[in-house]
A = this chain, B = another copy of it.
Amino acid sequence: MAKAKKRSDCPVSCSLDVWGDKWSLLIVRDLLIAKECSYGDFLKSAEGIATNILAARLVALEENKIIEKLAHPDSKVKGLYRLTRKGIDLLPVMIEINLWAEKYYAIPEDRKAQLKEVKKDKAGFIKAMTKKLES
């Protein structure tokens, strides 16, 4: 699994070394929306990630301190993933990605409605969401 070897000191390059693939940010997205997800929850997402890829990405994201794995309160067989502070701090990036995509691609109506709220007070939204996710 992608042992993050640094290609340069550029912040963009460093970031891409950690989450620059087609799946990592979708995992982060799921966690920003749901706060906590099990392995099975990620598999239910619309994009249909393969089980082996998901397992590999979860390990990599955990190694890079973007997510953390907790014990599930209901069952020992289940795990629960959530974002670390470092992961939560990707929220501004995620918001700008959403706004960019909204401008250039057709996206679902409910997402548009959410973004309308975000645009009203971006800083406020980020603050509130961060607080909620940190619980």
Residues of chain A having any CB pair with chain B under 8 Å: 7-17, 20-22, 25-26, 29, 45-48, 86, 89-90, 92-108, 111
Task: Given A16-B22, A22-B17, verify A9-B93 contact (CB < 8 Å).
Answer: no
A11/B48 in contact, CB under 8 A: no
How many protomers of this protein does the assembly include? Answer: 2
A25 and B26 CA atoms in complex are apart in Å by: 17
Which residues of B lie under 8 Å from residue A29 when comparing CB positions?
10, 12
Write 30 A-B pairs (CB below 8 A) sorted by A numbering: A7-B47, A7-B48, A8-B45, A9-B106, A10-B26, A10-B29, A10-B46, A11-B97, A11-B101, A12-B25, A12-B29, A12-B94, A12-B98, A12-B101, A13-B26, A13-B46, A14-B101, A14-B105, A15-B97, A15-B101, A15-B105, A16-B26, A17-B22, A20-B20, A20-B21, A21-B21, A92-B96, A93-B100, A95-B96, A96-B96
